[in-house]
Amino acid sequence: MIARTLYYALLIVPIAEIAVFVLVAQAIGFWSALAGVLLLSLLGAAVMSRQGLSLLTEIRTTIGAGRMPARALADTMLVGVAGLLLLVPGYLTDIAGLLLLVPPVRLLLYHFLKRRIGIDPRTAASGPAAGPKVIELDSSDFRS
């Protein structure tokens, strides 16, 4: 299912990008359309680097307080996906990447993903004291 979806996405997205670029180039001219793609990519890269640094600071603060930084990690992942989309030349991927850089859009996507991804309580840490316990064994207690 996922492989088939990925196959169709890799087939359809470049065709859609070319079609949108041709339409935009017909409306505003080839060089203006090319400059628009480059400008969107540069703008997105600048915003992405700024948001990425603030998210890393938030992750450090949350971990330092002993809490699981689930939201900050999800935001960091979505900013990374936005960066990947901004690297692909084209208007559709640039617009999708820029939308992922908008915090309310990421919040909606975070809540969507949170409902569909379950957390195993046996593996989720509840704080700094929830780490693994050290068990010391003597050589007589150990068997290969």
The predicted pLDDT at position 88 comes to 81
Q: Which residue would you say has higher pLDDT here, 130 or 1?
A: 1
pLDDT in tens, 101-121: 888 999 999 888 888 876 655
> b/e map of 35-50 (b: 16 or more CB within 10 Å)?
ebbeebbeebeebbee
The predicted pLDDT at position 144 comes to 62
Claim: this prediction has a pTM higher than 0.95: no
Given a contact cutoff of 8 angstroms between Cβ atoms, the answer to whether 66 and 82 are in contact is: no
13's tokens: 């997205």
Question: Is the predicted pLDDT of residue 130 greater than 70, yes or no?
Answer: no
- Supply the Cα-derived Rg of the chain in whole angstroms: 22
pLDDT in tens, 34-59: 999 888 888 877 877 777 777 878 88
